[in-house]
């Protein structure tokens, strides 16, 4: 099996995305996870750019990495400066890595218009820098910046830039589609020309401005590239970089290359989520391979077919990349799908049981009212339990009152008072919060923790509101989705109402009730 070296730039190019800023600790943790996956190269930043990167290179040098080589990234020497005197080039040596990446211009228009120097001086800058680093025993990768645009504008000069790097002893020529505007057939043709001309290893670095970065990277490999650069989740400047979470499984599962150890491919989804969480970015639920919806099925005919033969609507097995199949609950899901959910509560029922029909009718009615259980399956489970008589409310709301106070004082602008009944006992309490929903959530927890201490383990991790009929203006119906977690699992609940506070309350109650039901079942099993 031919090997493709994966070169990850999540910590350098990925950090240039809007809204992303990694701490030193974030970077170290990501390096450890990338190394565990089996990534060959991890581009960690420019050691001469800021003190944070200098500290990181010091920290990362202490790690006992098993698979990855850390890359220090920099540019060719500056115009008119001897390589020995160039501060940024010398900082690459101080980083202490065995491998470095140097970028240089390959587009004659940029040499003249951006660098403001001669075409010959640019070639000297490339050769001098690489030669200087190779003489010190380093592995050197040359990032041929704007190579494809440069080749299309002046192929002779673009190839001369590569020749300058190759003659200086470079280990890999990485061709960059820096503007992200090339088409797959262009990448294939030009990469093939380079691969046939130079005996050096060839790499590919694509940006996603035309939403073709993954396709372009795959075509480059087909044309002879043996190194692929990209980022986890496609993070990067503008529209992002080539997404390694799509490139790796496409190369490994579809084209027969080995990018990472086969036994590690199942870590890919967890890694994708980990990097999103560390970067404080919402995961792309529709991402191929690793997204939450990548293997989700809703239509009844689709679901039936997947149960009989998963390949009918799944191009790979979800487990191969650490993902899982999800059968979405909806009015179009079909009776067999509903039955699978019902069997988790009552395995004796069948598809024509009166209870099964009642669940289906209730589901259709709730979805007509605005409920949607595709992502709120915990609330759906509670609906089923109520219909089957397998549900006993843990508490009863007697009343609640929410007061909004303006202006805000110390982040608190709302107060909630609540009265609940548990058995024959009542509890009245109040809490302040940052907004009415937060205050209501805190007041409910405060009241219930006396009776159910396990509620202290529950944390609200996400809160979403969607207006269902915007034409009704301020009287519109809203759907609230709340994601909760404890130390064991996560679950999502839903509430719908013309009153956002009431919709939130319904979702909060389901979240707590679901937790108590699960705990009750765990105790019963033991």
Q: Which two tokens stand for residue 390?
A: 């397998």
Listed in order, strand segments (DSSP E) in 26-68 are 41-45
Q: How confident is the model at residue 425 (pLDDT cuts 50, 70, 90)?
A: very high
Tokens of 90: 């010398």
C-alpha to C-alpha distance for 404 and 343, rounded to whole angstroms: 44
Contacts of 299 (CB under 8 A, 6+ apart): 332, 333
The answer to whether residues 382 and 513 touch, using CB atoms and an 8 Å cutoff, is yes
pLDDT at 304: 64
* Residue 183 CB partners (closer than 8 Å, separation 6+): 210, 212, 216
Residue 409 has pLDDT above 70, yes or no: no
User: What's the length of the chain?
Assistant: 526
Going by pLDDT thresholds of 50, 70 and 90, the confidence category of residue 435 is confident
Q: What is the pLDDT of residues 163-212, one digit of tens each?
A: 999 999 999 999 999 999 999 999 999 999 999 999 999 999 999 999 99
pLDDT winner (highest mean) among 37-46, 141-150, 357-366: 141-150
Predicted local distance difference test score (pLDDT) of residue 388: 82
Is 439 a residue whose pLDDT tops 60?
A: yes
Domain 396-525 has CATH 3.30.160.270: yes
CATH of the domain spanning 5-278? 3.20.20.70
Comparing C-alpha atoms, which of 216, 249, 218 is closest to residue 232? 249
Q: Of the candidates 229, 220, 193, 213, which has an alpha carbon nearest to the alpha carbon of residue 101?
A: 229
The pLDDT assigned to 114 comes to 93
Domain spans, the chain: 5-278, 296-387, 396-525
- CA 275 to mean position of chain CA atoms: 6
pLDDT at residue 474 above 70?
Answer: no
* Other beta carbons within 10 Å of 463: 16
Tell me the torsion sign for CA atoms 251, 203, 222, 236.
Answer: positive
Instruction: Identify the pLDDT of residue 463.
Output: 86
**In 219-344, beta strands by DSSP E:** 227-230, 296-297, 326-327
Token digits of residue 59: 């920290």
Query: How does pLDDT run across 68-83, given as a tens digit for each residue?
Result: 999 999 999 999 999 9
| Whole-number average pLDDT of the chain | 88
Which CA distances in Å does 270 have to 29, 307, 324, 396, 458?
Answer: 14, 25, 11, 39, 22
399, containing H or E segment: strand 396-409
The answer to whether the beta carbons of residues 383 and 362 sit under 8 Å apart is: yes
Euclidean distance between CA atoms 119 and 248, whole angstroms: 37
pLDDT band of 328, cuts 50, 70, 90: low
Highest-scoring range by mean pLDDT, 95-109, 335-349, 376-390: 95-109
Q: What pTM does this model have?
A: 0.71
Distance CA 479, CA 481 (A): 7
Task: Categorize the per-residue pLDDT at 315 as very low, low, confident or very high, splitting at 50, 70 and 90.
Answer: confident
**pLDDT tens by residue, 41-57:** 999 888 866 677 778 88
Query: DSSP string spanning 123-173?
Result: HHHHHHHHHHHHTTT-EEEEEEETHHHHHHH-HHHHHHHHHHHHHTT-SEE
Q: What is the spatial distance between Cα 95 and Cα 49, in angstroms, rounded to a whole number?
A: 12
φ, ψ of residue 482 to 5 degrees: the values are -125, 125
Report which of residues 433 and 206 the model is more confident about.
206
């Amino acid at each position: 099996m031919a090997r493709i070296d994966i070169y990850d730039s999540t910590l350098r190019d990925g950090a240039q995305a809007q809204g992303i800023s990694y701490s030193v600790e974030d970077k170290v943790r990501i390096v450890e996870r990338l190394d565990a996956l089996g990534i060959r190269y991890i581009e960690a930043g420019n050691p001469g750019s800021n003190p944070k990167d200098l500290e990181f290179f010091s920290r990362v040098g202490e790690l006992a990495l098993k698979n990855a080589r850390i890359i220090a990234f920099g540019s060719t020497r500056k115009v008119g400066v001897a390589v020995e005197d160039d501060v940024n080039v010398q900082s690459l040596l101080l980083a202490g890595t065995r491998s470095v990446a140097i970028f240089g211009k390959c587009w004659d228009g940029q040499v003249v218009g951006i660098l403001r120097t001669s075409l010959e001086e640019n070639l000297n800058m490339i050769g001098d820098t690489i030669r200087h680093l190779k003489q010190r025993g380093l592995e050197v990768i040359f990032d041929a910046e704007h190579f494809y645009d440069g080749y299309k504008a002046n192929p002779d000069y673009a190839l001369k830039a590569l020749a300058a790097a190759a003659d200086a002893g470079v280990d890999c020529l990485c061709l960059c589609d820096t503007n992200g505007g090339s088409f797959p057939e262009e990448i294939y043709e030009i990469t093939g020309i380079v691969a046939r001309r130079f005996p050096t290893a060839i790499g590919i670095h694509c940006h996603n401005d035309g939403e073709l970065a993954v396709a372009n990277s795959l075509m480059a490999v087909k044309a002879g590239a043996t190194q692929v650069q990209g980022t986890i989740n496609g993070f990067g400047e503008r529209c992002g970089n080539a997404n390694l979470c799509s490139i790796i499984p496409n190369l490994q599962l579809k084209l027969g290359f080995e990018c990472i150890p086969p036994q590690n491919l199942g870590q890919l989804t967890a890694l994708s989520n980990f990097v999103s969480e560390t970067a404080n970015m919402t995961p792309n639920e529709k991402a191929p391979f690793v997204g939450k919806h990548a293997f989700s099925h809703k239509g009844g005919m689709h679901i039936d077919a997947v149960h009989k033969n998963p390949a009918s609507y799944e191009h790979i097995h979800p487990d191969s990349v650490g993902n899982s199949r999800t059968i979405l609950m909806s009015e179009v899901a079909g009776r067999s799908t509903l039955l699978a959910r019902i069997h988790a509560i009552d395995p004796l029922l069948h598809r024509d049981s009166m209870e099964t029909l009642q669940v289906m009718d209730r589901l259709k009615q709730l979805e007509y009212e605005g409920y949607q259980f595709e992502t709120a399956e915990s609330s759906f489970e509670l609906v089923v339990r109520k219909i089957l008589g397998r549900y006993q409310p843990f508490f009863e709301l007697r009343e609640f009152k929410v007061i909004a106070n303006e202006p805000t004082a110390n982040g608190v602008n709302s107060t909630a008072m609540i009265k609940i009944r548990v058995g024959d006992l009542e509890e009245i309490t109040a809490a302040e919060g940052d907004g009415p929903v937060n205050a209501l959530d805190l007041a409910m927890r405060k009241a219930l923790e006396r009776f159910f201490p396990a509620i202290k383990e529950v944390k609200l991790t996400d809160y979403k509101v969607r207006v269902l009929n915007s034409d009704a203006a301020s009287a519109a119906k809203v759907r609230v989705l709340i994601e909760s977690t404890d130390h064991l699992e996560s679950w999502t609940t839903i509430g719908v109402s013309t009153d956002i506070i009431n919709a939130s309350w319904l979702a909060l109650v389901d979240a707590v009730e679901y937790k108590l039901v699960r705990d009750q079942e765990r105790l019963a099993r033991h």
